[in-house]
Amino acid sequence: MVERYDHKRIETFWQKEWEERKAFRVDHTTEGEKFYVLEMFPYPSGRIHMGHVRNYSIGDVLSRFLMMNGKKVLHPMGWDAFGLPAENAAIQHNIHPARWTLENIEYMRRQLKRMGLSYDWDREVSTCSPSYYRWNQWIFLKFYERDLAYRKRGSVNWCPRCSTVLANEQVEDGLCWRCESPVEQKELDQWFFRITRYAEELLEYTYRLKGWPERVLVMQRNWIGRSTGAEVIFPVVDSDEVIKVFTTRPDTLYGTTFMSLAPEHPLVERITTSERAQEVRDFVQRVRAEDRTRREKGLLDKEGVFTGAWCINPLTQKRIPVYVANFVVMEYGTGAVMAVPAHDQRDFEFARAYGLPVEVVITPPGRRLDPSTMKEAYTEEGIMVNSGPFNGIKSTEAMDRIVELLEKEGKGRRATTYRLRDWGISRQRYWGCPIPIVYCDGCGTVPVPYEELPVVLPQEVDFRGGGISPLATVRQFVETDCPRCGRRARRETDTMDTFVDSSWYFLRYISPFKEDLPFDRKEVSFWMPVDQYIGGIEHAVLHLLYARFFTKALRDIGLLDIDEPFTNLLTQGMVCKETLRCPEHGFLSQEEVDGKRCRMCGREVVVGGVEKMSKSKKNTVDPDSIIDRYGADTTRLFSLFAAPPERDLDWSEEGVEGAYRFLGRVWRLVLENIEVLRESKPCDGSKGLEGFLKEVHHVTHRTIKKVTQDIGERFHFNTAISAIMELVNLLYQWQGGKDSPIEKEVFREAVETVILLLSPFAPHICEELWQRIGNERPLYLTPWPRFDPTALEKDEIMVVVQVNGKVRARVMVPRGAEKEVVQDIAMKDPKVMEWTRNKSIKRIVYVPDRIMNIVV
């Protein structure tokens, strides 16, 4: 019996070794062929979860693979360390957010090190450290100078549970993205980043990011939500006021029969006639009190009220009534809609409800529409009618022509609107980056001078009060002198959204010690953009859009010379597991189940569907316990083998055992042959190899080729691993001895190859075996193996023979044989003869060295 595979000892040993030798440190020179591998940094919530394990395993395989292939690889790790959970923990457990966060970082760093990840820990960055967030403030000031940061009072999303404001991107279905509480609206003074200035560029570049998954790009396009059309001016009758509308359908302008304003529209108050005033005011108040989410989701019936005012259709000069309607939102377009009931479903419903006229201006080809009997709006294109000079032309053509007419007469213009809103970054919480602004009664809003940065977050704060920013209670913080006039002034007490922190952290990794600037220009132009970014799909819009915006803004400030931060993006799937349920006690964890029964009540447990691991469903698996039991190598191997990275992964204990078994097989393969391996060199070339030896040599090189392509080109780690398994299986088939030099050499080459190819996945065991077979140089400094094309060539090749598309035989032919030669061989095959007997051959298709199809 050989020594057993002791993962604990091996993994501890090699982790210490890598750490002491600073194996994965990358110097600050800017020479060589660079590759920047980045994984989304974690929030230090306490412990890592399987999603992290998967994310970081993917990055590590790639990183180690590229290092062995001679690339200069930057592979850093850090902490997205500001955020609400720290503050909530502080409130619940009376521990300071800073301590809570730092302790979590300590713990999680140890967990990551236990996974054997190849990070350059010298570049570790933590966003809650003043040496990091001072540059947040610095960038904020640069944004402020360029009017990319501004303050405005407005209706904002308020999460009562988190007692803070949320950006639009952080509201999902009307619920807070973090705690799922219903979001309310509040009027507050808030800081915004003018991301809308980049709306067009952000959109345009989604068509150039070839290395991003299509679905992420689509989500971003939807989010930016560009629509093109026209802005049209409708003068109000007996008034100097005009109503501006945005429409994507200028072709329907002649069919406008009324006007709808958003209840929040400023004109409502000004144009409503006195006899309608009370009714309108009641209506506006009622709608504004309505549940915002229901209103936004379109769940309410179309309702409205007449203002008493009329406006003029600029093309027809017809008077049309102005309504206030609950389905018009102030935030989009101009907050006013020209209503064309015949050609817009919402307007149609509204018109029917209030008895307003429906006028058809576009007819479907070859059909006529009757306004009195229409059941729904006709929204397709067609032929123009009742549209003055445009009658008879196609509606698609009329679009442009009508806009031209409007522009000529000064009644409107071509216009584009976006769904994207500016990014509200103020947060009424403590544990975040202070906004470097001072308010002075004399000077107004004054930026903190650069030389006074950082504005340090004070330690002693009572953050238990709800509703206002905790910093507002700290007098020593709030009270300051105006940097401009020196008189007493007040500091801004909100902190920044933590998505600001993560919008540029990948730049700080490049020069984490830079004192005078956020990052070093020269180093950044060497390393950026990130060549491969890896993370979860949940950031498809949030973080990934913000980081793109930051990159463009920093470029325009003159700090960067790239347009996009991430060349290639890999969005890994979720880690899922089956759920267990007790009819009485709900979801159960593995520990709460005894056999097939609930430990609490003894009732039979229902095995539910495979769902994303979550605490609430109690189907999580703790990485620590898996690493304890099977080791980091097994854990990594399984999470990469069970599914391709972008797909969801079903966690299975049996699968983990399978991975463990495989590593055991590799371990025994080496140790059972340790003498043979030690006393030989790998063979060089395929000369003189016959039979099984030739087969082993051939498969060895075929595996090098496949694994190299699967890792480097396709990220198909699962198939790479299965190819290595096949090679190992073949070596277990070795029947004869390993006595002659040639046998030893072939075997040694094959085993070395297995170790090298497996090392990015399972680095500890491979490093150990590599050393044991007598290598001095550590594996992580050893070049990746290259395949020998001549070893891949076979003299004889199996060709599949089909008759009428059905496989009937397989024949061996010399490689590269002519069609006629193969045909002769095939026709002599008894099976083929049987199927072609008494039949006339119509055609023979031959794909060289692969397949022959005989059509009879």
Partner RNA sequence: GCCGAAGUGGCGGAACUGGUAGACGCGCUAGAUUCAGGAUCUAGUGGGCGCAAGCCCAUGGGGGUUCGAAUCCCCCCUUCGGCACCA
**By CB under 7 A, what part of segment 167-226 binds RNA?**
172-173, 214-215, 218-219, 222-223, 225
The CA radius of gyration of the chain, in Å to the nearest whole number, is: 34
Say whether residue 229 binds RNA (CB under 7 A). Answer: yes
Q: Of the listed pieces 34-42, 54-62, 77-85, 662-670, which binds RNA according to CB under 7 A?
A: 662-670
**Of 119, 246, 306, 780, which one interacts with RNA (CB under 7 A)?**
246
Amino acid at 274: S
In angstroms, what is the minimal distance from the CB of 258 to RNA?
12
Q: Of the listed pieces 51-59, 240-248, 471-479, 769-777, which binds RNA according to CB under 7 A?
A: 240-248
**Of 130, 664, 682, 778, which one interacts with RNA (CB under 7 A)?**
664
In angstroms, what is the minimal distance from the CB of 576 to RNA?
9
E strand residue ranges, 482-585: 488-491, 495-496, 530-536, 566-572, 575-582
In angstroms, what is the minimal distance from the CB of 761 to RNA?
12
Distance CA 67, CA 714 (A): 17
**Which tokens in the block code for residue 715?**
């990220």
Say whether residue 379 binds RNA (CB under 7 A). Answer: no
Residues 729-768 binding RNA (CB under 7 A) are 729, 732-733
Say whether residue 277 binds RNA (CB under 7 A). Answer: no
Say whether residue 514 binds RNA (CB under 7 A). Answer: no
Nearer to RNA, 178 or 665 (CB): 665
SS3 track for 130-187: HHHHHHHHHHHHHHHHCCCEEEEEEEEEEECCCCEEECHHHEECCEECCCCCECEEEE
**Of 241, 296, 381, 624, which one interacts with RNA (CB under 7 A)?**
296
Distances in Å between the alpha carbon of 340 and those of 102, 378, 639? 60, 10, 56
The candidate with the shortest Cα–Cα distance to 259, out of 300, 329, 315, 319, is: 319
Nearer to RNA, 90 or 725 (CB): 725
Phi, psi of 180 (to 5 degrees): 60, 25
Nearer to RNA, 481 or 672 (CB): 672
The one-character DSSP state at 302 is P
x/- site string to RNA, residues 474 to 503, per CB under 7 A? ------------------------------
Q: Of the listed pieces 55-63, 436-444, 664-672, 766-774, which binds RNA according to CB under 7 A?
A: 664-672
**Of 34, 716, 772, 794, which one interacts with RNA (CB under 7 A)?**
716
**Of 605, 621, 721, 832, which one interacts with RNA (CB under 7 A)?**
721
**Of 175, 472, 671, 851, which one interacts with RNA (CB under 7 A)?**
851
**Of 643, 755, 817, 826, which one interacts with RNA (CB under 7 A)?**
643
Nearer to RNA, 130 or 644 (CB): 644
Q: Of the listed pieces 236-244, 300-308, 403-411, 475-483, which binds RNA according to CB under 7 A?
A: 300-308
Nearer to RNA, 224 or 627 (CB): 224
Residues 541-600 binding RNA (CB under 7 A) are 541
**Contact predicate 600/592, CB 8 Å:** yes
Please work out the total of residues on this chain that contact RNA, with binding judged by CB under 7 A. Answer: 89
Residues 327-346 binding RNA (CB under 7 A) are 327-335, 337-338, 344, 346
**Contact predicate 296/315, CB 8 Å:** no
Burial 200-226 (b: 16+ CB within 10 A, else e): eebbebbeebeebbeebbebbeebbee
The one-character DSSP state at 316 is T
**Contact predicate 323/258, CB 8 Å:** yes
Q: Of the listed pieces 106-114, 308-316, 323-331, 684-692, which binds RNA according to CB under 7 A?
A: 323-331
**Of 435, 725, 755, 832, which one interacts with RNA (CB under 7 A)?**
725
Could you give the dihedral angle defined by the CA atoms of residues 422, 427, 428 and 432, in that order, rounded to the nearest 10 degrees? -160
**Of 262, 547, 746, 791, which one interacts with RNA (CB under 7 A)?**
262
State the first-to-last Cα distance of the chain, in angstroms, to the nearest integer. 60
The candidate with the shortest Cα–Cα distance to 147, out of 555, 553, 558, 561, is: 553
Distance CA 717, CA 706 (A): 11
Say whether residue 719 binds RNA (CB under 7 A). Answer: yes
Say whether residue 648 binds RNA (CB under 7 A). Answer: yes
Say whether residue 155 binds RNA (CB under 7 A). Answer: no
Nearer to RNA, 472 or 851 (CB): 851
The DSSP H or E segment spanning 404 is helix 395-408
x/- site string to RNA, residues 13 to 52, per CB under 7 A? ----------------------------------------
Tokens 């067009």 belong to residue: 200
Distance CA 59, CA 710 (A): 14
Nearer to RNA, 453 or 751 (CB): 751
Nearer to RNA, 504 or 715 (CB): 715
**Of 8, 297, 522, 596, which one interacts with RNA (CB under 7 A)?**
297
Distance CA 819, CA 730 (A): 32
The candidate with the shortest Cα–Cα distance to 361, out of 388, 334, 336, is: 388
Residues 6+ positions from 53 with CB-CB distance below 8 Å = 115, 575, 623, 635, 636, 639
Q: Of the listed pieces 48-56, 61-69, 456-464, 727-735, which binds RNA according to CB under 7 A?
A: 727-735
